[in-house]
Amino acid sequence: MSGTSLETTATGFRLRELHHIEEFEDVYRLLGEIWRSDPGSAPIGVELMRALSHAGNYVAGAYRDDRLIGASVAFLAAPAGRALHSHITGTAIGHGIGLALKLHQRAWALERGLDRITWTYDPLVRRNAHFNLAKLGARPTEYLPSFYGVMDDSINAGDESDRVLATWPLTAPHVTAAAAGTPQPVSIPPGTAVALHDHDGHPVPGTTDAPVLLVAVPADIETLRRTDPGAARAWRQAVREILGGLMEQGAQVTGFHQKTSYIVHRPDS
């Protein structure tokens, strides 16, 4: 695989690949601030970023007026020659930085003949689910209980590290439309049932006896972990049992409804 160093521009900032120790040190500091990590324990180290970049993997940053405001690190994955796994992406709040980084990553992958990008995310975080499924067109393909084991950063502390593996088929029509800024709306058919819903901040199971189901997630799990740890744990267990259980049975997640709920099609629907 080959490809030139890719640099693009977006409204108010520019994106480029990173290759130098000083750049990786800036990424280390930025990610440490975003994850509110203890000093010296940012989510990825300078040496590893240097090694990944030198070996031909993806390390990129977003800049405004020469100030780093977002970064992403990814590495080539199985199946060989077809996939990139995005390990971590962190950005300043707002301004479309995250979307611009993903589009830069997509262009980088396509330039190298890859056809998919995967990454993991916490299925309880609504804004990430909406971004990944509705804005990008990625689709959850595997539920991974306690994937990273115990995590001690300020965002995840006190919770189990369940993750969903998202797969982004880069040339699928709905992904191409989303990348062009016209994501295709996802509708739910008549008879869709609610398998899990939110009642005053707590998860309430419904029914799974329908071809298409909605599985809700909490409005703000990160705040809930601090203000009501019991409710946060209840959400983790409920989503693991219902969404994870359905996916284990072969159900497919096809979208994220009204920024609140996964749309799940049972395998026999």
pLDDT reported for residue 158? 60
Give the per-residue pLDDT at 157. Answer: 56
Q: What is the pTM of this model?
A: 0.92
Strand order in the sheet with 212-216: 202-205, 193-199, 212-216, 261-265, 252-257
Residue 9 exposed, middle or buried by CB count within 10 Å (0-12, 13-18, 19+): exposed
What was the pLDDT predicted at 36? 85
DSSP letter for each residue of 125-189:
-HHHHIIIIIIS--EEEEEETTTT----STTTTTS---EEEEEEETTSHHHHHHHTT-PPP----
Domain extents in the chain: 7-179, 193-265
Q: Which residue has the higher pLDDT, 95 or 186?
A: 186
What is the rounded average pLDDT of the residues 65-93?
95
CATH number for region 7-179: 3.40.630.30
Q: What percent of the chain has pLDDT over 90?
A: 83
Q: Quick one: what percent of the chain has pLDDT higher than 70? A: 94
Tokens of residue 197, six digits = 């819903």
Structure confidence at residue 8 (pLDDT): 83
**79 prior amide bond cis, ω within 30:** yes
Answer whether residue 155 shows pLDDT above 60: no
> What is the tens place of the pLDDT at every residue in 2-55?
556 788 887 789 999 999 999 999 999 999 999 887 777 789 999 999 999 999
**Beta carbons within 8 Å of 258's beta carbon, 6+ residues apart:** none
Q: Which of 24-33, 66-75, 181-190, 199-208 has the lowest mean pLDDT?
A: 181-190
Q: Which of 37-46, 163-172, 191-200, 210-219 has the lowest mean pLDDT?
A: 37-46
- Average pLDDT along the chain: 93
Q: How many angstroms separate the CA atoms of 212 and 194, rounded?
A: 9
> For 95-106, b where at least 16 C-beta lie within 10 A, e where not — what string?
bebbbbbbbbbb
Check whether 65 has a pLDDT greater than 60: yes
Over range 85-103, report the average pLDDT.
91
The confidence score (pLDDT) of residue 38 equals 78
